[in-house]
């Protein structure tokens, strides 16, 4: 390509997503790069219509530095792999919003109890609340009641194991968990998800946007 033929400025854009106070997501476009390019019009096909020849054209754009640009795009596509440690920390912060809600709103039992032969200490369900990574090969971070019973990893001990969280949530065995027809914590997990949804999503968006900008700038 003759460098002198690169006589047009081409603006490459990328989408940016934002979330408003109502949790609604909108997409806007911003400039990713401005490069020199050559634009040629070349015939791409021809056909005859009512005795006349119809020739269509397509625009061929040659961009200066395209190879370097494509390499950077490939690197950006590997963001979740190359920047996994930072993304996991973001997941822990976002998941912590829900976990902290549970710690603040789960009411402790007045006394120890038991269920199906397993002892349950006062404050055990509240202490089980936290975040964990379900797989070492994933950036996914989950939040809620931790338990060893179904392989939920995290810093949980025998008396910080929320294996019975689903029972409390539904209100089963109410008399053992501080109530008659429902437990004192019935519905707390669903309430927590609704109460923290918007705050968690906004925090996640802000942190991911900041980390992505940092990663892309380093390229």
**pLDDT value at residue 135:** 83
Full pLDDT tens readout for the chain, 219 residues: 555 567 777 787 777 777 776 667 778 888 877 777 776 666 655 554 545 555 555 555 566 666 776 677 777 778 877 888 999 999 999 999 999 999 999 999 888 988 888 899 999 999 999 999 888 888 889 999 998 865 555 556 667 899 889 888 887 766 666 555 567 888 999 999 999 999 999 999 999 999 988 888 887
Residue 67, H or E segment = helix 66-77
Q: Looking at the DSSP assignment, which residues form a beta bridge with residue 54?
A: 47
Distance separating alpha carbons of residues 22 and 38, to the nearest angstrom: 45
**pLDDT value at residue 43:** 61
Give 4-35 as a 3 state SS string.
HHCCEEEEEEEEEEEECCCCCEEEEEEEEEEE
Q: Are 185 and 122 in contact (CB under 8 A)?
A: no
Radius of gyration of the chain (CA): 28
For tokens 């061929």, the residue is 60
Q: Looking at the DSSP assignment, which residues form a beta bridge with residue 132?
A: 142
**pLDDT value at residue 9:** 78
Residues listed for the chain:
219
Q: Tell me the domain boundaries of the chain.
A: 3-77, 82-218
**pLDDT value at residue 144:** 94
């Amino acid at each position: 390509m003759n460098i002198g033929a690169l006589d047009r400025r081409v603006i490459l854009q990328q989408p940016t997503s934002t979330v408003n106070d109502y949790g609604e997501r909108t997409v806007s476009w911003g400039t990713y790069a401005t490069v020199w390019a050559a634009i040629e019009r070349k015939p791409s096909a021809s056909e005859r219509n009512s005795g006349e020849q119809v020739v269509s054209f397509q625009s061929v754009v040659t961009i200066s530095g395209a190879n370097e640009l494509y390499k950077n795009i490939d690197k950006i596509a590997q963001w979740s792999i190359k920047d996994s440690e930072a993304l996991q920390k973001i997941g822990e912060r976002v998941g912590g919003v829900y976990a902290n809600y549970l710690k603040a709103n789960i009411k402790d039992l007045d006394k120890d109890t038991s269920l199906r032969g397993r002892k349950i200490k006062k404050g055990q369900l509240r202490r089980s609340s936290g975040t964990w990574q379900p797989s070492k090969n994933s950036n996914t971070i989950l939040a809620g009641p931790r338990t060893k019973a179904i392989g939920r990893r995290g810093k949980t001990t025998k008396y910080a194991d929320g294996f019975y969280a689903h029972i409390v949530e539904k209100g089963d065995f109410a008399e053992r968990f501080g109530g008659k027809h429902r437990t004192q914590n019935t519905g707390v997990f669903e309430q927590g998800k609704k109460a923290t949804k918007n705050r968690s999503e906004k925090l996640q968006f802000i942190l991911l946007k900041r980390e992505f900008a940092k990663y892309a700038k380093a390229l």
